[in-house]
């Protein structure tokens, strides 16, 4: 469906406010869930492969290195490809590439080859990268420009749902084979050891074959589904249909707000991953908490991102029906309550109800309330909301650095709530008004995700030299830059005077 008489535009791409995009958005949201699910399976795959191949921690970390390297290598070519073949075909190509990667897990397990596993991960990550390059801007432009951040936040919330569900299902399907330690294996004959390791290796075949089938099925559905066709800028002028720029640049790199946005994506992903990567050791040092228990609390950090994204989709949507808005808000609070009860295991205290027995859950709900208040302070303005959340995140990290015990733990955990809409908001602000360069811009932004591989390493150097407690100064700097981007950095440098 082409739009010859646009009434709205975003990112220099024309669309109408009258078109019903809900069916298309439902289909596209399934993609966000799927790549979140697949990405988080790496957390299950790492200990599994470490045991199978007797790897050191450095060797097994090539799983994440290989995965994140795909973003750096494939994102820009993906942006060029999307510009040539369009968003829909880009999504289909990404799904089929990811399916090829999951299919490679079968021979990798059959031959027990770590190298083939790494190849499979690179191909899989390449497909997911292409999916992100195509789907993120497509979701942003399907609808009114002023609600682009809301749509992308909602889709990202389902991405977070995928990351929440994946470890549970992956543990059942992949780790169902009991992992024997080195001492146990030594008691077996060499033949039995090889047979056992082969059984462990093949445990990944069925789950990843199922994923292959699902990815191919989704690709077929999208191929048959009539997604709206989005027309880009007129090739004769290179200008957006209703652009606010005095002239169009030769490439996406010519836009200051895009370049600053790529830096914001780099530091956001890096800061978020760095905090999450150190939480178990941090809680062990703060509270002498067992690693297994600390690991369960990390789920509140990532689950908080899902809660915040749901809030973001509500508050940034411009919803005028107060009854519907209040209903959705109550639902999110109930979801947060259920998540906290499950993680803290305080649901076991229902028989003897007391506020003390639910202190952790109540603490989390208070932080959720603070997060909702911060969203409302944003007054439905993406830049303003981004800046407020970034300042809150920086403040919470500083509080954690300057305190100890439960206060330090809960303040750092609550950062996840404020991380929530940073990626989709930065993304939509960065591609605003780029017209025919939107595909290239998306590739640049997805390349910046490699910050998730670099900044945690730098924080590790800090932790080795000044201690883990104060090493969190690095994420503080990241959030301060994001606040700058929300206040000023996202404003295009070529706006006409009004």
Q: Is residue 273 part of a domain?
A: yes
Task: Note every long-range contact of 171-175, with CB atoms under 8 Å and residues 24 or more positions apart, other chains counting.
Answer: 171/44, 173/203, 173/206, 173/207, 174/41, 174/44, 174/45, 174/48, 174/203, 174/204, 174/207, 175/44, 175/47, 175/48, 175/203
CA dist., res. 447 & res. 477, Å (int):
21
Domain's final residue, options 197, 227, 257:
227
User: Do 158 and 36 form a contact (C-beta atoms < 8 A)?
Assistant: yes
Task: Give the list of residues 6+ apart from residue 20 with CB closer than 8 angstroms, or none.
Answer: none
Residues 214 and 262 in one domain: no
Higher pLDDT, 267 or 10: 267
Residues 44 and 164 in one domain: yes
Strand, helix or coil for residue 14: strand
User: Do 265 and 136 form a contact (C-beta atoms < 8 A)?
Assistant: no
Which structure tokens are listed for 304? Answer: 């908080």
CA dist., res. 494 & res. 254, Å (int):
10
pLDDT at 246 over 50: no
pLDDT of residue 132: 83
Which structure tokens are listed for 393? Answer: 């995140």
Lowest mean per-residue pLDDT among 5-14, 16-25, 206-215? 5-14
pLDDT tens digits for 282-312? Answer: 888 888 887 667 767 877 888 888 899 888 8
CA dist., res. 498 & res. 490, Å (int):
18
Q: What is the dihedral of CA 195, 196, 202, 207, to 10 degrees?
A: 160
What confidence tier does 15 reach under pLDDT thresholds 50, 70, 90? Answer: very low
Residues 352 and 491 in one domain: yes
Residues 417 and 471 in one domain: yes
Q: Mean per-residue pLDDT for 211-217? A: 92
Residues 186 and 333 in one domain: no
What confidence tier does 186 reach under pLDDT thresholds 50, 70, 90? Answer: low
Q: Is residue 236 part of a domain?
A: no
Q: Is residue 120 part of a domain?
A: yes
User: Do 37 and 166 form a contact (C-beta atoms < 8 A)?
Assistant: yes
Which structure tokens are listed for 452? Answer: 């998730």
39: domain CATH number is 1.20.1250.20
Q: Mean per-residue pLDDT for 102-113? A: 87
Range of the domain at 344: 248-498
Nearest-CA neighbor of 121 among 213, 38, 32, 59? Answer: 38
Domain's final residue, options 198, 227, 256:
227
User: Do 461 and 278 form a contact (C-beta atoms < 8 A)?
Assistant: no
pLDDT of residue 462: 85
User: Do 180 and 336 form a contact (C-beta atoms < 8 A)?
Assistant: no
pLDDT of residue 408: 94
Q: Mean per-residue pLDDT for 466-483? A: 93
pLDDT of residue 226: 79
What's the Rg (C-alpha) of the chain?
23
Q: Is residue 127 part of a domain?
A: yes
Q: Mean per-residue pLDDT for 57-84? A: 79
pLDDT of residue 260: 96
Q: Mean per-residue pLDDT for 183-211? A: 68
Residues 124 and 160 in one domain: yes
pLDDT of residue 428: 87
pLDDT at 180 over 90: no
Residues 152 and 260 in one domain: no
Beta bridge partners of 420: none
Q: Is residue 269 part of a domain?
A: yes
Residues 145 and 261 in one domain: no
CA dist., res. 316 & res. 374, Å (int):
12
Q: Is residue 444 part of a domain?
A: yes
Residues 223 and 79 in one domain: yes
CA dist., res. 469 & res. 324, Å (int):
43
- Burial class from Cβ neighbours inside 10 Å (0-12, 13-18, 19+) for residue 348 reads exposed
Q: Is residue 5 part of a domain?
A: no
CA dist., res. 96 & res. 211, Å (int):
11
pLDDT of residue 66: 82
Q: Mean per-residue pLDDT for 454-476? A: 86
pTM metric for this prediction = 0.71
Q: Mean per-residue pLDDT for 364-374? A: 95
User: Do 266 and 451 form a contact (C-beta atoms < 8 A)?
Assistant: yes
Question: If you average pLDDT over every residue of the chain, what do you get?
Answer: 79
pLDDT at 396 over 90: yes
pLDDT of residue 479: 97
What confidence tier does 30 reach under pLDDT thresholds 50, 70, 90? Answer: confident
pLDDT tens digits for 404-462? Answer: 999 999 999 999 999 988 988 998 899 888 877 887 888 888 889 888 778 887 888 88
Residues 495 and 415 in one domain: yes
pLDDT of residue 384: 94
Q: Is residue 440 part of a domain?
A: yes
Overall domain count for the chain? 2
pLDDT tens digits for 116-175? Answer: 999 999 999 999 989 888 887 777 777 777 666 667 767 777 887 777 676 667 666 665
pLDDT at 199 over 70: no
Residues 259 and 191 in one domain: no
Strand, helix or coil for residue 229: coil
Residues 205 and 266 in one domain: no
Nearest-CA neighbor of 43 among 299, 283, 269? Answer: 299
Nearest-CA neighbor of 462 among 450, 452, 454, 474? Answer: 474
């Amino acid at each position: 469906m082409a739009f010859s008489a646009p009434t709205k535009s975003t990112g220099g791409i024309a669309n109408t406010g009258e078109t019903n995009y809900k069916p298309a958005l439902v289909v596209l949201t399934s993609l966000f869930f799927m790549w979140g699910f697949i990405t988080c399976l790496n957390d299950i795959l790492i200990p599994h492969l470490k045991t199978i191949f007797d790897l050191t921690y450095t060797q097994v970390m090539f799983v994440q290195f290989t995965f994140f390297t795909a973003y750096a290598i494939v994102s820009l070519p993906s942006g060029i490809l999307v510009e040539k073949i369009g968003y829909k075909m880009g999504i289909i190509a990404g799904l089929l590439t990811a399916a090829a990667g999951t299919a490679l897990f079968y021979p990798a397990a059959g031959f027990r080859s770590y190298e083939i596993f790494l190849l499979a991960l690179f191909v899989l990550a390449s497909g997911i990268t292409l999916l992100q390059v195509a789907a993120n801007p497509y979701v942003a432009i399907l609808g009114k420009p002023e609600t682009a951040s809301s749509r992308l936040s909602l889709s990202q919330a389902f991405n977070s749902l995928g990351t929440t569900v994946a470890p549970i299902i992956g543990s059942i399907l992949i780790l169902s084979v009991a992992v024997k330690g080195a001492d146990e294996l030594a008691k077996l004959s060499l033949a039995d050891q090889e047979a056992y390791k082969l059984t462990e290796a093949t445990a990944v075949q069925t789950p990843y074959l199922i994923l292959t089938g699902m990815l191919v099925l989704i690709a077929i559905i999208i191929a048959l589904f009539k997604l709206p066709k989005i027309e880009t800028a007129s090739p004769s002028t290179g200008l957006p249909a209703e652009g606010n720029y005095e002239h169009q640049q030769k490439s996406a790199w010519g836009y200051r707000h895009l370049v600053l946005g790529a830096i914001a994506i780099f530091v956001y992903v890096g800061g978020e991953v760095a905090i999450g990567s150190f939480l178990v050791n941090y809680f062990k040092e703060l509270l002498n908490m067992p690693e297994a228990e600390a690991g369960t609390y990390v789920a509140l950090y990532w689950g908080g991102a899902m809660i915040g994204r749901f809030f973001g989709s509500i508050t940034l949507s411009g919803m005028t029906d107060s009854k519907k808005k209040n209903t959705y808000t109550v639902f999110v609070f109930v979801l947060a309550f259920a998540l906290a009860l499950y993680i803290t295991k305080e649901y076991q205290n229902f028989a003897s109800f007391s506020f003390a027995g639910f202190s952790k859950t109540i603490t989390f709900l208070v932080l959720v309330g603070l997060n909702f208040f911060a969203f409302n302070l944003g007054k439905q303005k993406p830049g303003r909301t981004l800046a407020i959340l970034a300042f809150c995140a920086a403040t919470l990290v500083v509080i954690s650095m300057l305190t100890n015990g439960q206060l330090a733990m809960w303040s750092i955990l609550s950062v996840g709530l404020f991380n929530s809409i940073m990626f989709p908001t930065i993304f939509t602000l960065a591609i605003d008004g780029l017209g025919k360069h939107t595909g290239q811009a998306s590739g640049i932004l997805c390349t910046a995700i490699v910050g998730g591989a670099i900044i945690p390493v730098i924080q590790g150097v800090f932790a080795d030299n000044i201690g883990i407690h104060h090493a969190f100064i690095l994420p503080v700097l990241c959030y301060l830059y994001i606040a700058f981007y929300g206040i000023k950095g996202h404003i295009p440098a070529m706006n006409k005077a009004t």
